[in-house]
Amino acid sequence: MKKIFKEFKEFATRGNVIDMAIGIIIGAAFGKIVTSFVNDIMMPPIGLLMGKMDFSSLFINMSGKEYSSLAEAKAAGAATLNYGMFINTLIDFVIVAFVIFLLIKQINRLTKKDTPPPAAPTTTQCPQCLSVIQIGAKRCPYCTSTIESK
């Protein structure tokens, strides 16, 4: 049993696990911010433009009785399809996914490894026979012509 706790302690204190835990906590907090942004800032003007519509109150009543609002249907325990809340959740997801995409893109840009410059060529062509020769050669090993230094 001690061995299992020791292994768990080693696992839990590794850098990657701690980094992941911090990321999850920050992600959860970020999700709440985005949800608030969508529900409290973004959707009211969209609803106003669409004729004073509140997306969060859109629902389909499946119980057969008439209810004037989602709150009334929920209070009565009626079965409802809350598609307005689903629309809000979809918008939340799109915003979070887009922000994560931008964040990952920036991280990749900052951590991008610089490609090393191309290596200087070590060979050239003989001007007489067009054979490949070493740079700095004074004579072509194939046609024995003298190579001028450039």
Same domain membership, residue 65 and residue 133: no
Domain that holds residue 87: 2-112
Same domain membership, residue 75 and residue 19: yes
Average pLDDT over residues 119-135: 91
Same domain membership, residue 105 and residue 47: yes
Q: Quick check: 47 pLDDT over 70?
A: yes
Confidence (pLDDT) at 150 = 62
Average pLDDT over residues 5-21: 76
Question: What percent of the chain stands above pLDDT 90?
Answer: 9
What 3-state DSSP class applies to 58?
coil
> What distance in Å separates the CA atoms of residue 99 and residue 109, rounded to the nearest whole number?
15
Same domain membership, residue 136 and residue 95: no
Q: What angle do CA 96, 101, 107 make, to 5 degrees?
A: 125
How many domains, the chain?
Answer: 2
| CATH number of domain containing 82 | 1.10.1200.120
Same domain membership, residue 67 and residue 128: no
Average pLDDT over residues 29-50: 84
Same domain membership, residue 93 and residue 38: yes
Structure tokens at 140: 């072509």
Same domain membership, residue 132 and residue 108: no
Same domain membership, residue 69 and residue 19: yes
Same domain membership, residue 135 and residue 70: no
What 3-state DSSP class applies to 65?
coil
Same domain membership, residue 76 and residue 32: yes
Same domain membership, residue 129 and residue 73: no
Confidence at 114, pLDDT banded by 50, 70, 90: low
> How many other C-beta atoms can be found within 10 angstroms of the C-beta atom of residue 38?
23
Same domain membership, residue 57 and residue 71: yes
